Amino acid sequence: MSIYINKDTKVVVQGITGNEGSFHARACLEYGTSIVAGVTPGKGGQKMDAVPVFNTVKQAVEATGADISLIFVPPPFGADAIMEAADSGVNLIVTITEGLPVFDMVKVKNFLATKKCRLIGPNCPGIITPEESKVGIMPGWIHKKGNIGVISRSGTLTYEVVDQLTKLGMGQSTCIGIGGDPVNGTNFIDVLEAFQNDDETSAVVMVGEIGGSAEEEAAVYIKKNLTKPVVGFIAGLTAPPGRRMGHAGAIISGSSGTGAAKIKAFKENGIHVCENLGLIGQTCKDVFS
């Protein structure tokens, strides 16, 4: 097992004929992901390499049985693309697009509450179950199959963590970037619950950052519900208040969302905190062995 995706996953890529969409669709195919369809309105009937392109997600799903959508459309069309995917019957939507207006995401999130599908992102690197399926933009080759679940709000920071794990011989069950936006789909708690229920995951690394209170809520959840060990890291301890640190969601507002508060919550709830990114692989090795 693994969580959310595996070797049988069938993916439709929305925005497959764009620069980013085609580049990453090819990289996913190379990794072994089964990409069965693409969608670009007005380009139905064409092909991206060997992948058939459809005008609507619904047509793509009906023709190919795709169960996951991977979205690369530009921000003004992001909310529409997510809602289209949700209405087409896929059960997982992975949105890479960065820069969606918050109000759009607020509406989308309320819309999704009436649907039976899961959203990962937006503004995220996606999800990978090493050596089975990659639905995202992460460099596949740094990952290795194993038993550590990785959850993070960021992209390259996650690659750094994964790279250290792999180099120290610790493989991963599934790695998920939930995205750096203030309002997103799947949150830390959803993923923690899935990792707890996954037989192949024996330990979890959770990478958070300043802004909001998702890490604090996850920490309380971990203490109550997780029997598996968790190593935690928080980025942005030196970030000044009131400034958006690259990610739309990475901002300390007044006294809320500070790194110090998150680390405190981690420690109080039995999470093994690593405060130096250079040592996160080693910390995991020490804690998990």
Partner 1 sequence: MKIHEYQAKELFRQYSVPVPEGKAVFSVEEAKEAAQNLDGFPVVVKAQIHAGGRGKGGGVKLASSMEEVETLANEILGMTLVTRQTGPEGRVVKKLLIEAGQKIEKELYLSLLVDRATASIVIMASRDGGMDIEQVAEKTPERIVKVHVDPLMGIQGYQLRQVGFGLELPAAAMKQFSQLLSNLYKFFAAKDCSLAEINPLILTADDQVLALDAKVDFDSNALYRHKELMELRDLDEEDLMEVEASKYNLNYINLDGNVGNIVNGAGLAMATMDIIKNAGAAPANFMDVGGGASSEQVENAFRIILADDKVKAVLINIFGGILRCDNFARGVVDAAKKTGINIPVVVRMEGTNVEEGKKILDDANLGLASAVDLIDAAEQIAASVN
Enzyme catalytic residues: 247
Task: Give the one residue of 110, 116, 224, 227 binding partner 1; rule: CB under 8 A.
Answer: 110
CB 91 within 8 A of CB 118: yes
246 binds partner 1 (CB under 8 A): yes
**Within a 13 Å sphere around the CA of 196, how many CA atoms are in the beta-carbon half?**
15
Cβ of 239: how many Cβ atoms within 10 Å? 20
- Under 8 Å between Cβ of 103 and 78: no
Stretch that binds partner 1, among 7-15, 28-36, 39-47, 151-159 (CB under 8 A): 151-159
Place of tokens 């890479």: 96
**From 10-18, 38-46, 79-87, 103-111, span contacting partner 1 (CB under 8 A):** 103-111
Does the protein bind partner 1 through residue 144 (CB under 8 A)? Answer: no
Q: Compute the least distance from the CB of residue 76 to partner 1, in Å.
A: 6
User: How many CB atoms are closer than 10 A to CB 229?
Assistant: 17
Q: Is 22 in the site for partner 1 (CB under 8 A)?
A: no
| Residue pair 22/46 in contact by the 8 Å Cβ criterion | no
CB atoms under 10 Å from CB of 161, counted, come to: 26
Q: Is 100 in the site for partner 1 (CB under 8 A)?
A: yes
Decide: is 37 part of the binding site for partner 1 (CB under 8 A).
no
Q: How far apart are CB 45 and partner 1 at their closest, in Å?
A: 30
- Can you read off the two tokens belonging to residue 26? 């090819």
Give the count of alpha carbons within 13 A of 273, CB side only: 19
Give contact residues for partner 1 (rule: CB under 8 A).
20, 75-76, 99-107, 109-111, 125, 137-139, 142, 152-160, 163, 180, 182-183, 207, 209-210, 212-214, 217, 233, 235-240, 242-250, 254-255, 259, 275-279
